[in-house]
Amino acid sequence: MPSIEINIYAYITFFSISILIFLYLGWKIRKIYKNFIFYLFKVRGRNAEKKAIKILKKNGYQILNKQPIAKGYLYQNKKQISFIVRPDFRVSKNNIVYIAEVKSGMSASIQDIGTRRQLLEYSIVFNSNKLILVDTKKNKIKKIEF
């Protein structure tokens, strides 16, 4: 009888270790997948920005800065909290300076809540009512004002 008891413990141990290995491998594969997707989004974003530069220059805009940084402030329970915003470009045309955001697809519309909020945040932080939304899929520049 002792040999059967040992075999059962061996099977339980083997099964338990196998489950732990599969869980670990699944977690690693998920992490690799998420990093790969993030990489694809970065490549897509870089390509969209390159295309946006061509669209802007073709339409007479001069690129002043790529991804200019501005510091914004808000208050939470009377405590000042700072944050950073980084639009895609600061451009000018006819001596007017615009903040430019590059989007493609469905997000290249002010109907998209994320895009609309992002543009409003830029307007407030940069203290500017001159914004443009560059739609790289449709090759269009949309002037936005709040």
Single-letter residue type at 103: K
The arithmetic mean of pLDDT across residues 83-106, rounded, is 95
Give pLDDT, residue 5.
Answer: 62
Q: How many structural domains compose the chain?
A: 1
pLDDT band at 88 (very low <50, low <70, confident <90, very high): very high
The structure's pTM equals: 0.73
**Cα–Cα distance measured from residue 41 to residue 139, given in angstroms and rounded to the nearest whole number:** 20
Q: Using one digit for the tens of pLDDT, what is the confidence trace for 38-52?
A: 898 888 888 889 999
SS (H, E, C) 82-146: EEEECCCEEEEECCEEEEEEEECHHHCCCCCHHHHHHHHHHHHHCCCCCEEEEECCCCEEEEECC
User: Domain of 51?
Assistant: 2-144
